Amino acid sequence: MKIAQELFGDSLRGIWLFAALASSATIIVTGLIARELGGRRYALALSAVAVLIAPTFLSDGSLMTTNCLEPLLWMSCAYFALLAINRDDPRYWLWFGVVAGIGMEEKYSIAVFGFGVVAGLLLTPQRKFLWNHWMWFGGAAAFLIFLPNLLWNLHYHWPFLQLMHNIKASGRDVRLTPWQFSWQQILLVHPLTSPIWIFGLLALFFWKPLRPYRMLGWCYLIAFTTFVALSGKNYYLAPIYPMLLAAGAVGRERMLERPGRAWLKPVILVVLLAGGAWLAPVTIPILPAPQLVSYLGKLPLQGPRTEKSHLSAILPQHYADQFGWEEMTAAVAQVYHSLPPEEQAKAAIFGNNYGEAGAIDFLGPKYGLPKAISGHQSYWFWGPRDYTGEIIIVLGDRRATLEGECASVQQFDFVHSPYALEQGPIFLCRGFKWNLQQAWPMLKKWQ
């Protein structure tokens, strides 16, 4: 994000560029995996198209989030594992460890993939690699790369574990049964590609040409079971599917090489591309919002919602979260600039979640606004700055709550975007009953 801003300023296309490049690289790595599994030209094309049309990967490529790098990192690890197996060269496990370490810096869920790989090795003849010193060098590399992050967690009393505990305790997320989780995997990767990746999973266990790689099959089953047991969100497992799509493409290629079936090859690709175009508006911003609402209403399948607060939203979260921030920031600026200069110097802008605070920080400079403060997740570590609580502009709260904490509360309503997920008034609070500097520990909100 910082690099994109330095290169392209606040250009939306510039910010999206790196996410698009990461998704494009994932397609390339998927092709490389298919080749290592014994695939030829058609298998590479089929696996690439299957990844290209998957709604979850299309979304990753059009949003700069922590999710956009996950498939590339997971599949790079899988690729190095295949190189180690095919070339009987354990040195590739060092590169596996390097990528896994980078992945741990990006998002901790790659640890589940790594656990699945190790367990898969134990359950197959490839367990021989576990005793090789290059495997241990790879583990050491992953640990050293992750070490600063680990020390940060230790220093701040394990914020990630606090977050996971609080989310579960609050009941924020939609809990899925194993069946619901399975069905949503099919939706995320695209219903038309499910025969490919399911065939790929079975082929890793039962088809002789792919049985040397059944470690990948065990890895999937273990990761699937882990996320279901931990009540993980449906997209947590998404980065693992390119390797199953590659395996399935290799098997399909062999099947279509039988006499009289060659004509099916282009037909399958065309059907997949058409199906991908059909669902593409669900995940990438092709249609204007009013048309998208109408389009979504006509689809026979509705996209899953991962949090209870999203159930009433008109648009899916990844769209709804892109609306309303400009209106909110402009409204905050009106309140802020209505204050005399001496009060503006004392006025803190407090966001009850990182989205609100982040919008103020990103959009606020052109409105002449100071940086926001927030107790939500990592924002809490940045503290209350120099504010004491004498005057606070509060976003995302309830008047009744604020009246119990402030001497006076004034409410300002404004016109929201009808598509925004974040809805609510702005409050101007005076005389916070505690000094912000002293009360800051109580404002910590990890959920």
**Does pLDDT of 185 surpass 90?**
yes
Same domain membership, residue 339 and residue 276: no
Same domain membership, residue 159 and residue 227: yes
Is 434 strand, coil or helix?
coil
Same domain membership, residue 354 and residue 292: no
pLDDT digits (tens, 9 = 90+) for 31-83: 999 999 999 999 999 999 999 999 999 988 888 788 889 999 999 999 999 99
Same domain membership, residue 211 and residue 63: yes
- Structural domain for 211, as ranges: 2-298
Segment 273-300 shows an average pLDDT of 88
Question: Does 337 reside within a domain?
Answer: yes
At residue 307, the pLDDT reads 67
User: Could you tell me if 371 and 360 are in contact, meaning their C-beta atoms sit under 8 angstroms apart?
Assistant: yes
**Does pLDDT of 364 surpass 80?**
yes
Stated pTM of the model: 0.91
Is 407 strand, coil or helix?
strand
d(CA 172, CA 194): 29
Q: In terms of Cα–Cα distance, which of 149, 116, 108, 129 is closest to 243?
A: 116
Question: Does 268 reside within a domain?
Answer: yes
Same domain membership, residue 341 and residue 236: no
Amino acid identity at 93: W
Same domain membership, residue 217 and residue 364: no
Burial class (CB in 10 A: 0-12, 13-18, 19+), 130: middle
Same domain membership, residue 362 and residue 278: no
More confident of the two residues 393 and 302: 393
d(CA 100, CA 103): 5
Is 393 strand, coil or helix?
strand
Question: Does 311 reside within a domain?
Answer: no
pLDDT digits (tens, 9 = 90+) for 389-418: 899 999 988 899 998 999 999 999 887 888
Question: Does 304 reside within a domain?
Answer: no
At residue 414, the pLDDT reads 85
β-bridge mates for residue 391, sequence order:
347, 430
Number of structural domains, the chain?
2
Same domain membership, residue 263 and residue 402: no
Segment 414-441 shows an average pLDDT of 87
Same domain membership, residue 330 and residue 232: no
User: Could you tell me if 164 and 212 are in contact, meaning their C-beta atoms sit under 8 angstroms apart?
Assistant: no
Same domain membership, residue 333 and residue 190: no
Question: Does 339 reside within a domain?
Answer: yes
User: Could you tell me if 381 and 155 are in contact, meaning their C-beta atoms sit under 8 angstroms apart?
Assistant: no
User: Could you tell me if 305 and 316 are in contact, meaning their C-beta atoms sit under 8 angstroms apart?
Assistant: yes
Is 392 strand, coil or helix?
strand
Question: Does 190 reside within a domain?
Answer: yes
**Does pLDDT of 2 surpass 70?**
no
Same domain membership, residue 83 and residue 202: yes
The conformational region for residue 420 under phi > 0 = left, psi -120 to 50 = alpha, else beta, is: beta
Same domain membership, residue 268 and residue 162: yes
**Does pLDDT of 144 surpass 90?**
yes
